[in-house]
Homo-oligomer: A and B are copies of this chain.
Amino acid sequence: MINILFAARSERWAEYEQPLRDALDALGLPYHLAQDIAPEDVDYIVYAPNSELQDFTPYTRCKAVLNIWAGVEAIVGNSTLTQPLARMVGGGLTEGMVEWVTGHVLRHHLGMDAHIVNPDHTWEPVAPPLAMERPVTILGMGALGAAVGKALVALGFPVTGWSRTPKDLPGIRCLSGPEGLSEALTGAQIVVLLLPDTPDTENVLNAGTLALMAPGAFVINPGRGPLIDDDALLAALDSGQVAHATLDVFRTEPLPQDHPYWSHPKVTVTPHVASETRAVMAAEVIAGNIRRGEAGEPFQHVVDRNAGY
Protein backbone atom coordinates (compact mmCIF):
# COMPACT_ATOMS: atom_id res chain seq x y z
CA MET A 1 0.00 0.00 0.00
CA ILE A 2 1.41 3.38 -1.07
CA ASN A 3 0.47 6.13 1.37
CA ILE A 4 -0.13 9.40 -0.45
CA LEU A 5 -0.74 12.54 1.58
CA PHE A 6 -2.61 15.36 -0.11
CA ALA A 7 -1.27 18.61 1.36
CA ALA A 8 -2.91 21.57 -0.33
CA ARG A 9 -5.91 23.73 0.52
CA SER A 10 -9.21 21.93 1.02
CA GLU A 11 -10.83 23.34 -2.13
CA ARG A 12 -8.04 21.64 -4.08
CA TRP A 13 -8.87 18.33 -2.41
CA ALA A 14 -12.40 18.61 -3.76
CA GLU A 15 -10.97 19.26 -7.19
CA TYR A 16 -8.13 16.72 -7.19
CA GLU A 17 -9.31 13.71 -5.18
CA GLN A 18 -11.27 11.94 -7.89
CA PRO A 19 -8.84 12.73 -10.73
CA LEU A 20 -5.97 11.41 -8.61
CA ARG A 21 -7.88 8.22 -7.77
CA ASP A 22 -8.75 7.74 -11.44
CA ALA A 23 -5.15 8.25 -12.54
CA LEU A 24 -3.73 5.93 -9.86
CA ASP A 25 -6.37 3.29 -10.59
CA ALA A 26 -5.53 3.48 -14.27
CA LEU A 27 -1.92 2.59 -13.45
CA GLY A 28 -3.02 -0.29 -11.20
CA LEU A 29 -1.19 1.05 -8.15
CA PRO A 30 -2.34 -0.01 -4.64
CA TYR A 31 -2.67 3.20 -2.62
CA HIS A 32 -4.17 5.04 0.30
CA LEU A 33 -4.86 8.68 -0.55
CA ALA A 34 -5.94 11.09 2.18
CA GLN A 35 -5.49 14.55 3.64
CA ASP A 36 -4.49 13.11 6.99
CA ILE A 37 -1.88 10.36 7.30
CA ALA A 38 0.60 9.90 10.14
CA PRO A 39 3.82 11.62 8.93
CA GLU A 40 6.05 8.62 9.47
CA ASP A 41 3.81 6.51 7.22
CA VAL A 42 3.71 8.89 4.24
CA ASP A 43 5.35 7.69 1.00
CA TYR A 44 4.52 10.67 -1.24
CA ILE A 45 3.21 14.17 -0.65
CA VAL A 46 1.04 15.79 -3.32
CA TYR A 47 1.77 19.38 -2.51
CA ALA A 48 0.95 23.05 -3.06
CA PRO A 49 3.38 25.61 -1.60
CA ASN A 50 0.56 27.45 0.20
CA SER A 51 -0.20 24.30 2.24
CA GLU A 52 -0.07 24.43 6.04
CA LEU A 53 2.55 21.70 5.81
CA GLN A 54 5.86 23.60 5.99
CA ASP A 55 7.93 21.33 8.21
CA PHE A 56 8.93 18.17 6.37
CA THR A 57 11.13 16.82 9.21
CA PRO A 58 8.66 14.16 10.46
CA TYR A 59 8.09 12.70 6.97
CA THR A 60 10.98 10.32 7.38
CA ARG A 61 10.11 7.78 4.70
CA CYS A 62 8.66 10.16 2.14
CA LYS A 63 10.17 9.47 -1.29
CA ALA A 64 9.13 12.66 -3.07
CA VAL A 65 7.13 15.87 -2.79
CA LEU A 66 5.05 16.27 -5.94
CA ASN A 67 4.03 19.84 -6.57
CA ILE A 68 0.71 20.67 -8.28
CA TRP A 69 2.10 24.13 -9.15
CA ALA A 70 4.74 25.03 -11.72
CA GLY A 71 6.26 27.69 -9.44
CA VAL A 72 8.30 26.45 -6.48
CA GLU A 73 9.95 29.65 -5.22
CA ALA A 74 7.91 29.56 -1.99
CA ILE A 75 9.17 26.11 -1.05
CA VAL A 76 12.52 25.52 -2.75
CA GLY A 77 14.47 27.22 0.07
CA ASN A 78 12.75 25.24 2.87
CA SER A 79 15.66 23.56 4.67
CA THR A 80 13.45 20.82 6.16
CA LEU A 81 12.61 19.61 2.67
CA THR A 82 15.32 17.08 1.89
CA GLN A 83 13.28 14.78 -0.35
CA PRO A 84 13.20 15.16 -4.15
CA LEU A 85 10.84 17.99 -5.09
CA ALA A 86 9.10 17.74 -8.47
CA ARG A 87 7.34 20.73 -9.96
CA MET A 88 4.33 20.54 -12.24
CA VAL A 89 5.17 20.40 -15.92
CA GLY A 90 2.32 19.61 -18.27
CA GLY A 91 -1.03 19.09 -16.61
CA GLY A 92 -2.66 21.62 -18.94
CA LEU A 93 -0.22 24.34 -17.86
CA THR A 94 1.49 24.46 -21.23
CA GLU A 95 -1.68 24.55 -23.32
CA GLY A 96 -3.22 27.28 -21.17
CA MET A 97 -0.07 29.36 -21.25
CA VAL A 98 0.30 29.08 -25.02
CA GLU A 99 -3.31 30.18 -25.48
CA TRP A 100 -3.04 33.12 -23.06
CA VAL A 101 0.27 34.44 -24.38
CA THR A 102 -0.62 33.96 -28.05
CA GLY A 103 -3.91 35.72 -27.46
CA HIS A 104 -2.35 38.74 -25.78
CA VAL A 105 0.53 38.93 -28.28
CA LEU A 106 -2.03 39.03 -31.11
CA ARG A 107 -4.17 41.52 -29.16
CA HIS A 108 -1.30 43.98 -28.94
CA HIS A 109 -0.01 43.18 -32.42
CA LEU A 110 -3.42 43.88 -33.97
CA GLY A 111 -4.18 46.91 -31.79
CA MET A 112 -7.48 45.34 -30.70
CA ASP A 113 -8.07 47.59 -27.71
CA ALA A 114 -8.80 50.59 -29.96
CA HIS A 115 -11.74 48.63 -31.41
CA ILE A 116 -12.93 46.99 -28.20
CA VAL A 117 -13.23 50.41 -26.54
CA ASN A 118 -14.26 52.91 -29.21
CA PRO A 119 -16.84 55.31 -27.72
CA ASP A 120 -16.44 57.79 -30.59
CA HIS A 121 -17.26 55.09 -33.19
CA THR A 122 -14.07 55.88 -35.07
CA TRP A 123 -13.72 54.08 -38.44
CA GLU A 124 -10.03 54.22 -39.35
CA PRO A 125 -9.09 51.29 -41.57
CA VAL A 126 -5.35 51.07 -40.96
CA ALA A 127 -4.14 47.49 -41.30
CA PRO A 128 -1.51 46.46 -38.75
CA PRO A 129 1.88 45.15 -39.87
CA LEU A 130 2.07 41.44 -40.51
CA ALA A 131 3.43 39.18 -37.79
CA MET A 132 6.58 38.70 -39.90
CA GLU A 133 7.33 42.37 -39.27
CA ARG A 134 6.84 42.21 -35.47
CA PRO A 135 9.80 40.82 -33.51
CA VAL A 136 8.85 39.06 -30.27
CA THR A 137 11.30 38.20 -27.51
CA ILE A 138 10.58 35.59 -24.85
CA LEU A 139 12.66 35.62 -21.68
CA GLY A 140 12.69 32.06 -20.39
CA MET A 141 12.93 29.05 -22.69
CA GLY A 142 11.77 26.28 -20.37
CA ALA A 143 8.83 24.02 -21.23
CA LEU A 144 6.42 26.97 -21.28
CA GLY A 145 8.66 29.45 -23.14
CA ALA A 146 9.57 26.89 -25.77
CA ALA A 147 5.91 25.98 -26.38
CA VAL A 148 4.89 29.64 -26.61
CA GLY A 149 7.78 30.33 -28.99
CA LYS A 150 6.74 27.45 -31.23
CA ALA A 151 3.17 28.76 -31.44
CA LEU A 152 4.33 32.29 -32.28
CA VAL A 153 6.76 31.05 -34.93
CA ALA A 154 3.87 29.13 -36.52
CA LEU A 155 1.98 32.42 -36.80
CA GLY A 156 4.93 34.07 -38.55
CA PHE A 157 6.43 36.16 -35.74
CA PRO A 158 10.24 36.41 -35.69
CA VAL A 159 10.90 34.98 -32.22
CA THR A 160 13.98 35.41 -30.06
CA GLY A 161 14.24 33.27 -26.95
CA TRP A 162 16.58 33.98 -24.07
CA SER A 163 17.51 31.54 -21.32
CA ARG A 164 20.13 31.12 -18.62
CA THR A 165 21.65 28.10 -20.32
CA PRO A 166 22.07 27.77 -24.12
CA LYS A 167 19.16 26.22 -26.04
CA ASP A 168 18.62 25.18 -29.62
CA LEU A 169 14.99 25.32 -30.72
CA PRO A 170 13.73 25.14 -34.31
CA GLY A 171 12.80 28.48 -35.85
CA ILE A 172 13.74 30.44 -32.73
CA ARG A 173 16.79 32.70 -32.41
CA CYS A 174 18.16 31.36 -29.12
CA LEU A 175 20.38 33.54 -26.95
CA SER A 176 21.70 33.00 -23.44
CA GLY A 177 23.83 34.48 -20.71
CA PRO A 178 24.12 38.11 -19.58
CA GLU A 179 25.36 39.52 -22.91
CA GLY A 180 22.67 37.55 -24.74
CA LEU A 181 20.02 39.29 -22.65
CA SER A 182 20.88 42.73 -24.05
CA GLU A 183 20.93 41.37 -27.57
CA ALA A 184 17.61 39.60 -27.05
CA LEU A 185 15.84 42.73 -25.83
CA THR A 186 17.35 45.20 -28.31
CA GLY A 187 14.66 46.22 -30.77
CA ALA A 188 12.05 43.80 -29.42
CA GLN A 189 8.50 45.04 -30.05
CA ILE A 190 6.79 42.54 -27.76
CA VAL A 191 8.53 41.03 -24.71
CA VAL A 192 7.06 38.01 -22.89
CA LEU A 193 8.37 37.05 -19.44
CA LEU A 194 8.39 33.32 -18.70
CA LEU A 195 11.35 33.05 -16.36
CA PRO A 196 11.23 31.37 -12.95
CA ASP A 197 11.47 33.57 -9.87
CA THR A 198 15.02 33.25 -8.57
CA PRO A 199 17.53 35.71 -7.10
CA ASP A 200 19.12 35.93 -10.56
CA THR A 201 15.91 36.83 -12.37
CA GLU A 202 14.54 39.44 -9.95
CA ASN A 203 14.02 42.78 -11.71
CA VAL A 204 15.24 41.40 -15.03
CA LEU A 205 13.04 44.09 -16.57
CA ASN A 206 14.44 47.32 -15.12
CA ALA A 207 15.19 50.84 -16.36
CA GLY A 208 18.24 49.63 -18.25
CA THR A 209 16.70 46.63 -19.97
CA LEU A 210 13.39 48.40 -20.71
CA ALA A 211 15.38 51.06 -22.57
CA LEU A 212 16.75 48.42 -24.98
CA MET A 213 13.33 47.52 -26.35
CA ALA A 214 11.87 49.22 -29.43
CA PRO A 215 10.10 52.48 -28.55
CA GLY A 216 6.42 51.74 -27.98
CA ALA A 217 7.03 48.07 -27.17
CA PHE A 218 4.57 45.84 -25.32
CA VAL A 219 5.38 43.91 -22.14
CA ILE A 220 3.50 40.73 -21.28
CA ASN A 221 4.19 39.05 -17.92
CA PRO A 222 2.59 35.68 -17.23
CA GLY A 223 5.75 34.55 -15.38
CA ARG A 224 6.31 35.90 -11.89
CA GLY A 225 5.77 39.34 -10.34
CA PRO A 226 9.34 39.97 -9.10
CA LEU A 227 10.72 39.72 -12.66
CA ILE A 228 9.70 43.37 -13.12
CA ASP A 229 10.98 46.49 -11.36
CA ASP A 230 7.51 47.98 -11.04
CA ASP A 231 8.65 51.60 -10.66
CA ALA A 232 10.83 51.33 -13.75
CA LEU A 233 7.95 49.85 -15.77
CA LEU A 234 5.58 52.61 -14.68
CA ALA A 235 8.17 55.22 -15.70
CA ALA A 236 8.63 53.53 -19.10
CA LEU A 237 4.84 53.48 -19.61
CA ASP A 238 4.61 57.17 -18.76
CA SER A 239 7.46 58.08 -21.11
CA GLY A 240 5.97 56.03 -23.96
CA GLN A 241 8.99 53.71 -24.18
CA VAL A 242 6.49 50.96 -23.32
CA ALA A 243 3.10 51.34 -25.02
CA HIS A 244 1.20 48.88 -22.85
CA ALA A 245 1.84 46.20 -20.25
CA THR A 246 -0.38 43.16 -19.72
CA LEU A 247 0.42 41.65 -16.35
CA ASP A 248 -0.92 38.40 -14.90
CA VAL A 249 1.38 38.08 -11.87
CA PHE A 250 2.41 40.51 -9.14
CA ARG A 251 4.64 40.75 -6.08
CA THR A 252 1.46 40.74 -3.97
CA GLU A 253 -1.64 38.84 -5.09
CA PRO A 254 -4.45 39.70 -5.34
CA LEU A 255 -3.01 42.99 -6.61
CA PRO A 256 -3.80 45.54 -3.85
CA GLN A 257 -6.61 47.92 -4.76
CA ASP A 258 -4.35 50.96 -4.31
CA HIS A 259 -1.63 49.68 -6.65
CA PRO A 260 -1.01 52.10 -9.55
CA TYR A 261 -1.28 49.25 -12.08
CA TRP A 262 -5.04 49.02 -11.52
CA SER A 263 -5.81 52.53 -12.73
CA HIS A 264 -2.99 53.03 -15.22
CA PRO A 265 -4.51 53.44 -18.70
CA LYS A 266 -1.63 51.54 -20.30
CA VAL A 267 -1.78 48.51 -18.00
CA THR A 268 -4.06 45.48 -18.26
CA VAL A 269 -4.27 43.42 -15.08
CA THR A 270 -5.32 39.79 -15.38
CA PRO A 271 -5.87 37.87 -12.11
CA HIS A 272 -3.20 35.14 -12.35
CA VAL A 273 -5.15 33.13 -14.90
CA ALA A 274 -2.57 32.80 -17.69
CA SER A 275 -2.05 29.20 -16.84
CA GLU A 276 -3.63 27.01 -14.26
CA THR A 277 -3.08 23.36 -13.59
CA ARG A 278 -6.08 21.29 -14.72
CA ALA A 279 -6.80 18.61 -12.15
CA VAL A 280 -7.41 15.73 -14.55
CA MET A 281 -4.25 16.34 -16.54
CA ALA A 282 -2.13 17.17 -13.47
CA ALA A 283 -3.32 14.02 -11.70
CA GLU A 284 -1.95 11.95 -14.57
CA VAL A 285 1.44 13.65 -14.27
CA ILE A 286 1.54 13.03 -10.51
CA ALA A 287 0.40 9.41 -10.77
CA GLY A 288 3.06 8.88 -13.41
CA ASN A 289 5.75 10.12 -11.05
CA ILE A 290 4.50 7.84 -8.26
CA ARG A 291 4.65 4.89 -10.65
CA ARG A 292 8.24 5.87 -11.50
CA GLY A 293 9.18 6.09 -7.83
CA GLU A 294 7.70 2.65 -7.12
CA ALA A 295 9.49 1.18 -10.13
CA GLY A 296 12.80 2.66 -9.01
CA GLU A 297 12.92 4.98 -12.02
CA PRO A 298 14.06 8.61 -11.70
CA PHE A 299 11.32 11.16 -11.02
CA GLN A 300 10.37 13.61 -13.75
CA HIS A 301 10.68 17.39 -13.37
CA VAL A 302 12.81 17.31 -10.22
CA VAL A 303 13.76 20.79 -9.03
CA ASP A 304 17.44 21.77 -9.03
CA ARG A 305 17.74 23.39 -5.58
CA ASN A 306 20.73 25.48 -6.63
CA ALA A 307 19.08 26.88 -9.75
CA GLY A 308 15.83 27.30 -7.81
CA TYR A 309 13.54 25.68 -10.38
Interface residues in A, total, Cβ within 8 A: 48
Counting CB contacts under 8 A, is A55 at the interface? no
Query: Given that A112-B107, A118-B269 are contacting pairs, would A96 and B130 also be in contact in the complex, using a CB cutoff of 8 Å?
Result: yes
Query: Given that A116-B113, A126-B273, A273-B125 are contacting pairs, would A99 and B106 also be in contact in the complex, using a CB cutoff of 8 Å?
Result: yes
CB distance from A117 to the nearest CB of B (A): 6
A121 contacts B278, C-beta separation under 8 Å: no
Counting CB contacts under 8 A, is A262 at the interface? yes
**Which of A150-158, A180-188, A287-295 lies on the face that meets chain B?**
A150-158
B106 contacts A102, C-beta separation under 8 Å: yes
- Chain B residue with minimal CB distance to A263? B121
A interface residues with partner B (beta carbon < 8 Å): 92, 95-96, 98-100, 102-104, 106-107, 109-110, 112-113, 115-118, 121-128, 130-132, 151, 154-156, 254-255, 257, 262-263, 268-273, 275-276, 278
Q: List 13 A-B contacts (CB under 8 A).
A: A95-B131, A95-B156, A99-B155, A103-B109, A103-B112, A106-B107, A107-B107, A113-B116, A115-B269, A116-B268, A123-B255, A123-B271, A125-B276
A100 contacts B95, C-beta separation under 8 Å: no
Which residues of chain B have C-beta atoms less than 8 A from A276's C-beta?
125, 127
Copy number in this complex?
A: 2
Contact partner of A115 among B92, B96, B130, B270, CB < 8 A? Answer: B270
- Chain B residue with minimal CB distance to A98? B155
Which residues of chain B have C-beta atoms less than 8 A from A121's C-beta?
255, 257, 262-263, 269
Contact partner of A132 among B95, B117, B268, CB < 8 A? Answer: B95
- Chain B residue with minimal CB distance to A134? B99
Which residues of chain B have C-beta atoms less than 8 A from A115's C-beta?
268-271
- Considering the chains assembled together, what is the distance between the CA atoms of A166 and B262 in angstroms? 50
B271 contacts A125, C-beta separation under 8 Å: yes
B117 contacts A116, C-beta separation under 8 Å: yes
CB distance from A92 to the nearest CB of B (A): 6
A109 contacts B116, C-beta separation under 8 Å: no
CB distance from A16 to the nearest CB of B (A): 15
Which 9 pairs, one residue from A and one from B, show the smallest C-beta to C-beta distance? A103-B106, A127-B276, A123-B254, A125-B271, A123-B271, A121-B262, A115-B270, A103-B110, A127-B273
Contact partner of A99 among B110, B271, B275, CB < 8 A? Answer: B110
B103 contacts A273, C-beta separation under 8 Å: no
Which residues of chain B have C-beta atoms less than 8 A from A125's C-beta?
271-273, 276
